[in-house]
Structures are given as C-alpha cells and as structure tokens.
Amino acid sequence: MENASVHGAEHAADAHALDRSVLSSVEDQDVRAERVKPGIVIRLPHDGDWRALHELVRKVHERTVFSHIPFSDRKYAAIEAQARNPQPHQCLLVADVAGRVVGLAWFSAGEYLLGEGTVLTTTHLLGIDSEFCGPFRAAKVFVKLLRGVAAWSKTRGAHQILVHVTTGYALKQTDRLIRAGGGVCIGGSYLVKA
C-alpha cells in the first residue's frame, strides 16, 4: 500500500505495519489522517462529516440505475448508525480534499459463503463526488479509497476484496480503474425486469 494509512492509538494489537505506515482498527476514537497524495486524505470519519456523507450518498444514488427508487432517509440513518459504531468486521473510510468530503468506502470482512477459514472483504458502497472532483481526481480518489480498503483488509486477515459494481454508471471507466489496480473480473451483476 503506497504511503496510505489511517492512524489510531488505542488498539496496538490490532495494528499492522504497512509500508512504514500503520492502519489501526476502526474502534480507535483518537484518529488522525496522513496525506496520501497532496490534497487527498483517506481517513476514518469525524463527527462533522455525517451531513456531508449523507449528501454524498444521495448524489451517488441519483447517478445509479436505481435512481427511480426514492432515497430512504430512514434506511440511510440505520446504515449511518452502524457506521458510527462499527463492529470489528466493518469499516467506513472517508476521502477528503481540503477538508471537504469527496468520497467514501463502506465495507466489511467475513468468511467465504461456502467455506471456512478464509476471510474476504466485501465493499458495500464506494462512492465519489465526481462533480466536485472531475474525472481525473475522481479516479485518484477511487484508487486511494480502494488502497485504504486493502490496508484495512490485511488487518482482518483478508487477502481478497470483492468489489461489486451495481450502479449502472460509468461501467467502462470503473472496470479500467479496477483492472489497472490488479482487479480481475469474476462475473457480473445483471438487472432483469420481473
């Protein structure tokens, strides 16, 4: 993981050295961020981020193939409650530029469905404010968030990350980004009308 880290101080047993950086578990409350590249910071959320995260998730929803489904503030509130107090197998990372929230990754680790002893990380949502970032910076934010997911995954013993692209938006660009980062296509998501 190239110079990316999220720091915390309380759970040293849960921390791993990664390329002269440390990624601690999400239980840490005293968190500070280290710059990944000038202008882009990947970190755990702060108390003041929740309103911006809510707006970002709304923007991401509006760009998806599911935008015709009304956004549920009630369901979002339930997910936010989980993200504010994550279980050890869950994490939310935030990307910010000059103090502005421009991206997020919500993911969890667990055993493979049909086997035992192997932990996989599943990304549930990886979204970027592409209007604010523009295509070039949005791609950089995406890659940095994915690197953050990879670093956290190692702390959970997961060596594989499942990235499900189900937005129906910018599919070719997303495919190129994931493949450039070493991703391999193992299937696909299809939408079939009932």
pLDDT digits (tens, 9 = 90+) for 3-59: 333 322 222 223 322 322 333 333 332 333 443 345 899 999 999 999 999 999 999
Per-residue pLDDT tens over the stretch 122-163: 999 999 999 999 999 999 999 999 999 999 999 999 999 999
Q: CA–CA separation, 161 vs 11, rounded Å? A: 24
Decide if 112 contacts 94 (C-beta within 8 A).
no
- pLDDT tens-digit readout, 50-89: 999 999 999 999 999 999 999 999 999 999 999 999 999 9
CATH 3.40.630.30 fits 36-180, yes or no: yes
Question: For residue 121, which of 140, 93, 79 has the smallest C-alpha distance?
Answer: 93
Report the amino acid identity of residue 162. Answer: L
**Is it the case that residue 168 has pLDDT exceeding 90?**
no
Q: Which residue has the tokens 């990380």?
A: 121
pTM: 0.79
pLDDT, tens only, 139-149: 999 999 999 99
